[in-house]
Structure 1
Amino acid sequence: MLRRLLSSPVTADVLLWCAILAPLFADDLPGRGQPAGLPLVWVQWAAVPLLALAVAVSRRLPVLAAAVPAGLGLAATPELFTNNFAIAQIVLAFLLGRRAAARGTGLLFFGGVCLAGLVLVGIVPAATVSGWFTVVATALVTILLPWLAGRYVRQHDELVRTGWELAERLEREQELIGDRERLKERSRIAGDMHDSLGHELSLIALRAGALQVDAGLSVPAREAAGELRSSAAAATERLREIIGVLREDSEGPPVLPAGDTPADVVERARASGMAVTLTGAFGEPLPPMADRAVYRVVQEGLTNATKYAPGAAVRVTLGLAEGEAVVTVANDAPPAGPLPGSGSGHGLVGLDERVRLAGGRLHAHPVDGGFAVTARLPLAAGAAATPPGERRSREALERARRKVRRSMLDAIWVPVVAAGVLGVTMFGFNTYTSYRSVLDAQVYGELRVGQSETSVAGRLPAYQADDDERPAGAPADPPGTDECRFYRIGAWSLDRAYRLCFTDGLLTAKDRVDITPPPASP
């Protein structure tokens, strides 16, 4: 009982909720130059039920779950950078990559968070231009990188699952190969029986024919001999038909009557209560082998949907593509969830054999919580059988491996490219603002104490020396001044700067000051 409780999803969700709540009430008020959003205490208390909701829906709605801590971080500060919600953002972004199959989901979510942060930075009065870069850098670390890690784990798990499915399929095929060999031997035995028994029946018919024409026998006896000859000949012909069904592999398989069509199968399934639709058509008659293979694909696909996804909508699609007939039977996820067990798989293996003998290829795979079976069959009659399915299984495993490798490359190059673009953008912006924050020496010399702020403002640079307006290490403002502004003397140096101080709208002080960087933290 205790072990089952500890391994249940509810217990895991409760532990996850406790883990992301741990840093929630840490003392992480926005620092200097970082604009505050809503009062932090409000956001903290609102986060307790919201994060519980996020964890509760993270399995079914991972995007909504990841959006909750991102929204809380933006509510605390438009720049998103806060330790209170960083753990929750990282964990739920990882789960988004782990649980969401679509590749574009995480990228769109990352872009949406960045866009929302940029808008907030633009409208909050205390925000600075550097806040835009803080939003993107924080989202890169707390959202994009964890999402990529979660996506890689998901792809790796799919690779492992594909490998186990391949192993199980090969094991089933080995069992079927043994059954096939036994059937082949029985077929050979039946052939031997046909040869010997048919010969004996032929001899009986021959003797009966001799008695039928013997003049020494009475008319009733000759008539009985004729009936015996006819019965022996009929038994010989029937024996030949029955044994002919037990063919050798080198012979062509018997072609079933083509009176029933896929449309008939779909109509019977719909009449029985299944939500099934049929779309498309081939537009031309198919070869007998391909036609019967299409019929069996539709029949087996609907049977599997009834057994393993009761109540789910089923779509049957017929069409032509690249010179081949394509039939697909796909079902949605069952409303009550997947049934336990995956079946023996013999139906699909037998269906694969029929499609293979018709010269086609069968592909069965999960899709969006449901399952799809697709067969591609040649349009030409007499097409050679395709090779057995082991090679196709290995190709499926190789495709899964390539998918994981691509996901791993994404986890490397996406953050590298994003960091590179962000770094280049920040460098370019810093270069631009550095040159636009230089006060020309001649203009500085022409400024006079006592001039109005409005007359001076038109001659000053567009930016001040630092984004935070007051460089770290700048000396204290002169007593009695309302505001002091700092401008660079040179574009690439902030060791010295021009300081202009204003009081009651007038320039009251101007000087050159030394900027002493604060000592590094031990």
Structure 2
Amino acid sequence: MRERVFDLLLWLLLCVPVLLRSDPNDGGSWTQVAVGLVVLAGCVAVSRRWPLVPLAVTVAASLPATLELFTPSYSLALVAFGYLAGRRQEHTRAALWLFGAIAATGLVLTAVTHTSFGQWFTLLLALALAVVAPWLIGRYVRQYDRLVRSGWELADRMEREQAAVADRERLRERSRIAGDMHDSLGHDLALIAIRAGALEVSPDLGPDQQRAAGELRRAAADATARLRDIIGVLREDDAAAPTSPPGETVEELTARARASGLAVTLDPTPVPTLPGMSGLALHRVVQEGLTNAAKHAPGSAVSVTVAQDSTDVRVRVISGPGTVEGRRGGAPAPGSGLVGLGERVRLAGGTLTHRATEDGGFALTAALPRHPPAPAPPAAPTSARELDRARREVRKGLARAIWIPLALLAALALLMAGVALWTQSRSYLEPADYDRIRVGQTLTEIDEAAEDWPDHPLDGPPQVVPAEPPGMDECRYYRSTLLAAIPVYRLCFVDGHLADKAEVP
């Protein structure tokens, strides 16, 4: 509704000059008024869908009235439709082609009607001021509105993102806690099961104590399985792998497992120290290998071997088949622990492999870089990229709003200079031809006597020249030099015959 009201008011405003300047009192007719009102109504109606069409129609209606383009009836329409074209048109190429076509059409009409090139220069000036300048203002307003709209959209999006930041932080903390429970508590529960298994077969305990130890071992194993199934791999990609206890070394980890009853050997001692994520990944590989051995092959011997070279550190955890009755030996299925461990090693820049050994055991191998890769810089937020893109578009629009009129003015100045030189050359009279002219000759005889008679005389006498001889019907002035404005040749005629010739300063 608002758009229709705006279009109606625009049409009424543009009709005022037509009603005032195209009626019979100003040399027009009511037919011209009616046609103008209908044409303007059609232009306003299509201006939103095809912004350049009303501008082209208005120019077509103005050129028949005057080649100078600027008419009292449609001058306001030119300015309005030029602004709306820049405001509503998405691309600029079609508008530039239209401006070029208007200038070319004016030049053709000037040549066909044999009028002065001064009118064409006036057309170019009217085109620049009444059409191109409002169009550039419309382009600037469009780019500015786009920047403002993008800013509000980004502000709204940032508010929604800020509302989601708290939720993400809570989920991340929960994920970290879940990862700590899965990695650390699972390992501790496995060691508890080993201790209970050792008590279950101890000859120093009675049947009731051995049965209670077996129930404790089974309960620990079941708790470990439920912990793995419920939590899964929930740790964030960039979260540090937890150690239990915090800051525990590989030597301390194997010693604690050995104290719990697991037959563990470590070679060499001490283990090489790795920085950052590689060191945490090394600890996690050994921890996961010991956990798998305690759960899937209790009672088997476990060997931890660490080898290093100039670039990598390779750690291998090999466990044999289980020896405790009722427990399943062999390779564990690739569950959440191995999946999470593989992701941890990958983030540290290494590789992880696991396989079953020939004797029914399990081998876990990891290769870790001594110098982990630097973390990739965080990508710029989408909102920041879009704001930067919107700013670049506005800067481009402002640049076009500056260099386009400057280029047009420079081209117009060069064109005017070229046409001025061409006009001067067409009104130049060779001194030799001037000497051949005799008083009493007609124009036809003068043209035959001269080798290169100029096509056009000057439009009028130069400023501050001597008075013309009395009694002359017509005096014509020609340039005596191409570049200088004075002196000039003056030829005066009476009854079509040359009556006086002179070189006037």
Alignment check: 8 A CA contact 2:154 2:387 kept: yes
Instruction: Choose the corresponding residue for 1:387, options 366, 370, 378.
Output: 378
Superposed, 1:270-349 pairs within 5 Å as: none
**Secondary structure of 1:76's match?**
coil
State the distance in 1 between where 2:197 and 2:489 align. 129
Q: Is the 8 A contact 1:159 1:404 kept in 2?
A: yes
CA distance in 1, matches of 2:28, 2:434: 42
Question: 1:28-52 CA deviation, whole Å, 9 max, x = no partner?
Answer: 99xxxxxxxx989766543322222
Shift of 1:425: 2.5
Query: What is the deviation of 1:249?
Result: 4.3
Aligned to 2:423: 433
Aligned residue number for residue 498 of structure 1: 490
Alpha-carbon spacing, 1:216–1:438, altered in 2? closer, same or farther (3 Å): closer
Query: Mapping of 1:33-432 within 5 angstroms?
Result: 45-125=34-114, 127-191=115-179, 233=221, 236-250=224-238, 387-390=378-381, 393-432=383-422
Q: How many angstroms apart in 1 are the aligned matches of 2:480 and 2:30?
A: 43
Q: Could you tell me which residue of structure 1 aligns to residue 457 of structure 2?
A: 464
Q: Which amino acid aligns with 1:419?
A: L
Measure the CA separation in 2 of the matches of 1:96 and 1:441: 54
Q: 3-state DSSP class of the match of 1:498?
A: strand
8 Å contact 2:22–2:30 — kept in the other structure?
Answer: no
Quick one: distance in 2 between partners of 1:40 and 1:128?
28
Alpha-carbon contact 1:158-1:400 (below 8 Å) kept? yes
Contact 2:22–2:32, Cα closer than 8 Å, also in 1: no
Letter in 2 for 1:140: A
Is the 1:73–1:80 Cα contact (8 Å) retained in structure 2? yes
Q: What is the TM-score normalised by the length of structure 1?
A: 0.55
Residue 385 (structure 1) shift = 5.3
Letter in 2 for 1:150: G
Deviation at 1:70?
A: 1.6
Task: Answer whether contact 2:192 2:220 (CA < 8 A) is retained.
Answer: no
Q: Between Structure 1 and Structure 2, how many residues are aligned?
A: 359
CA drift of 1:76 comes to 2.0
Distance 1:462 1:118, change over 3 A: same
**Partner deviation per Cα, 1:317-338 (whole Å, 9 max, x = no partner):** xxxxxxxxxxxxxxxxxxxxxx
Counterpart amino acid of 1:15? L
The 1:173/1:445 distance shift into structure 2, 3 A limit, reads same
Encode CA deviations 1:82-118: one digit per residue, 9 max, x unaligned. 2332221122111111111213232112112112222
Mark the CA change 1:46 to 1:184 in structure 2 (over 3 Å): closer, same or farther: same
Aligned to 2:342: none
Paired letter, 2:413: G
Supply the distance in 2 between the matched residues of 1:212 and 1:18 (Cα, whole angstroms).
Answer: 105
Matched residue SS, 2:73: helix
Rounded to whole Å, the distance in 2 between the matches of 1:39 and 1:471 is 38
Counterpart residue type for residue 118 of structure 1 = L
Q: CA RMSD in A?
A: 4.9
Deviation at 1:124, TM superposition (A): 2.2
Alignment of 1:467-478 (within 5 A): none
1:58, CA displacement in angstroms?
1.4
Cα distance change of structure 1 residues 118 and 431 upon mapping to structure 2, 3 Å threshold: closer
1:150-190 CA deviation, whole Å, 9 max, x = no partner?
Answer: 11111112222222233223222222211111112332454
3-state DSSP of counterpart to 1:68: helix
Deviations 1:459-509 (A, max 9, x none): 33222212xx8999999999997xx56323555548987355586xxx245
Q: Residues 241-264 of structure 1, C-alpha deviation per residue, up to 9 Å, x if partnerless?
A: 441242234259xxxxxxxxxxxx
Secondary structure of the 2:108 match is: helix
Change (3 A) 1:477 1:140: farther
Q: How does 1:13-24 map to 2 (within 5 A)?
A: 13-24=7-18
Cα distance 1:23–1:479, how it changes in 2: closer, same or farther (>3 A)?
farther
- 1:121 positional shift: 1.8
User: Aligned partners of 2:29 and 2:433: how far apart in 1?
Assistant: 44
Cα separation, 1, equivalents of 2:177 and 2:154: 34
CA distance in 2, matches of 1:419, 1:88: 23
Gap regions ≥5 residues in structure 1:
30-37, 253-357, 359-381, 516-522
Letter in 1 for 2:227: L
Residue identity opposite 2:96 in structure 1: L
What are the superposed Cα offsets for residues 209-262 of structure 1, whole Å, 9 maximum, x if unpaired? 999999989xxxx9xx99x9989856743531441242234259xxxxxxxxxx
Larger radius of gyration: 2
Change in CA separation of 1:405 and 1:383 when aligned onto 2, cut-off 3 Å:
same
**Do the aligned partners of 2:430 and 2:480 also contact (CA within 8 Å) in 1?**
no
Of all paired residues, the percent bearing the same amino acid is 36
User: 1:87 corresponds to which letter in structure 2?
Assistant: L
Show structure 2 runs of 5+ residues with no match.
241-346, 348-372
CA, structure 1 residues 476+80, in 2 after alignment: closer, same or farther (shift >3 Å)?
A: farther
- Would the aligned equivalents of 1:202 and 1:232 in 2 still touch at CA under 8 Å? no
Amino acid at match of 1:53: G
Query: C-alpha distance in 1, partners of 2:131/2:439?
Result: 51
What is the CA–CA distance in structure 1 between the aligned matches of 2:461 and 2:221, rounded to whole Å?
A: 113
Q: 1:58 is aligned with what amino acid? A: S
2:477 alignment partner, SS class = strand
Deviations 1:385-440, CA, capped at 9 Å, x for gaps: 551443x5334323332332332232222212321221232133223423432445
Query: How many angstroms does 1:24 deviate by?
Result: 2.7
Find the counterpart in structure 1 of residue 266 from structure 2: none
Distance in 2 separating the partners of 1:473 and 1:12: 56
Query: Is the alpha carbon distance of 1:197 and 1:409 closer, same or farther for their aligned partners in structure 2, counting shifts above 3 Å?
Result: closer
Give 1:71 shift: 1.5
Q: Deviations along 1:285-326, whole A, 9 cap, x unmatched? A: xxxxxxxxxxxxxxxxxxxxxxxxxxxxxxxxxxxxxxxxxx
1:53 and 1:232 map into 2 onto residues whose CA distance is: 86
In structure 1, distance between residues paired with 2:390 and 2:456? 53
